[in-house]
Amino acid sequence: MKKVLVTGCAGFIGSSLTEVLLARGYHVTGIDCFTDNYAHWMKQKNILSFVHHPRFRFIRSDLQSIDLNVLLQDIHYIFHEAALPGVRSSWGKNFSLYVHHNIACVQKLLEAIKESPVEKMVYASSSSVYGSMDGPTDETRLPAPYSPYGVSKLAGEYLCRLYHHNFGVPVVSLRYFTVYGPKQRPDMAFHRFIRNIWKGKPIKLYGDGRQTRDFTYIQDAVTANLLAAEKGRPGEIYNIGGSSKIELIQVIQLLESIMNRKAKVSFEPVQPGDPKHTWADISKARSELGYLPSFPIEKGLQQQVSHLIEMLEEDKR
């Protein structure tokens, strides 16, 4: 069975992907340095289900601090999930951290892959490279990020492209559109909404709530990674959306009905870097990878609500 490396294995997407890879029989090496973007205990919890798995090896380290040339000698696929996510925190002096985690680490990996037998690297890019979108947006649209975070993810993508063109490094980029579901990061909207509705606290909604996002359920994002490793054409970029484009205010209404509780919404000014709309055209991923999102928003939200409430209840005990 193939050996794979998951960077950012203690994060939301990396840990969900690792679980599925192990279930499918892969040998997984996971790297994570536990950045401070949210509580370490949450990341510890994310890896709890597999950290002692016989086919899993955990390396707690920053990618910049390890000898990748040795590590990659017997790795077939790399899933590069490690990064500093989050649009709002990427302004100001924080940007140097984004340069380190989101750009310099990608370059280090690509250099190491040049000298290795790695068959494919899947790079976690983001819809934030586009900026705001007025309609379904495909991969040919000129990127125009709205935030320093978006710029850092685009720089990582361009590095992937240029290492592919110059050295044949086999890398595929996936532009995820807002991923949600169990283990979602605590700074992300659905997590905050569910937590505050459950605790009876006000929800901060930035803007008028009419902004839309194309939400992608975590299992669909995980499936997209497996498909990209197997079928993605090196050097290519694929949009990964969920076909669940919906206004944030409608999400709150859905949550009220799922949770059977009323939300207290506090409308706040639009935040710098937040696009008004995101909307994925996933035709390319559908035709080349066979990617088909399978979770409607109602079902995905239900899963996230159950998971988060269980966690909040555990915390009380």
Catalytic residues, by residue number, are 149
By CB under 6 A, is residue 101 in contact with ligand NAD?
Answer: yes
By CB under 6 A, is residue 308 in contact with ligand NAD?
Answer: no
Cα 26 from Cα 24, distance rounded (Å): 6
Binding mask 36-75 for ligand NAD (x = CB under 6 A): -x-----x------------------xxx-----------
By CB under 6 A, is residue 10 in contact with ligand NAD?
Answer: yes
Pairing label, strands 237-240, 171-176:
parallel
CB of 292 to ligand NAD, least distance (A): 19
From 3-11, 111-119, 231-239, 248-256, give the range in contact with ligand NAD by CB under 6 A. 3-11
Checking phi first, is residue 273 left (phi over 0); if not, alpha (psi -120 to 50) or beta?
left
By CB under 6 A, is residue 35 in contact with ligand NAD?
Answer: yes
CB of 52 to ligand NAD, least distance (A): 19
By CB under 6 A, is residue 222 in contact with ligand NAD?
Answer: no
- What DSSP element (H or E) covers 301? helix 297-316
Q: Where are the alpha helices (DSSP H) in 50-147?
A: 68-71, 95-98, 105-114
Cα 303 from Cα 291, distance rounded (Å): 21
Q: Give the binding-site size for ligand NAD (rule: CB under 6 A).
A: 31
3-class DSSP state for residue 78?
strand
**3-state DSSP helix/strand/coil percent for the chain, to nearest 5?**
45, 20, 35
State which of positions 68-87 bind ligand NAD (CB under 6 A).
81-85
By CB under 6 A, is residue 178 in contact with ligand NAD?
Answer: yes
By CB under 6 A, is residue 143 in contact with ligand NAD?
Answer: no
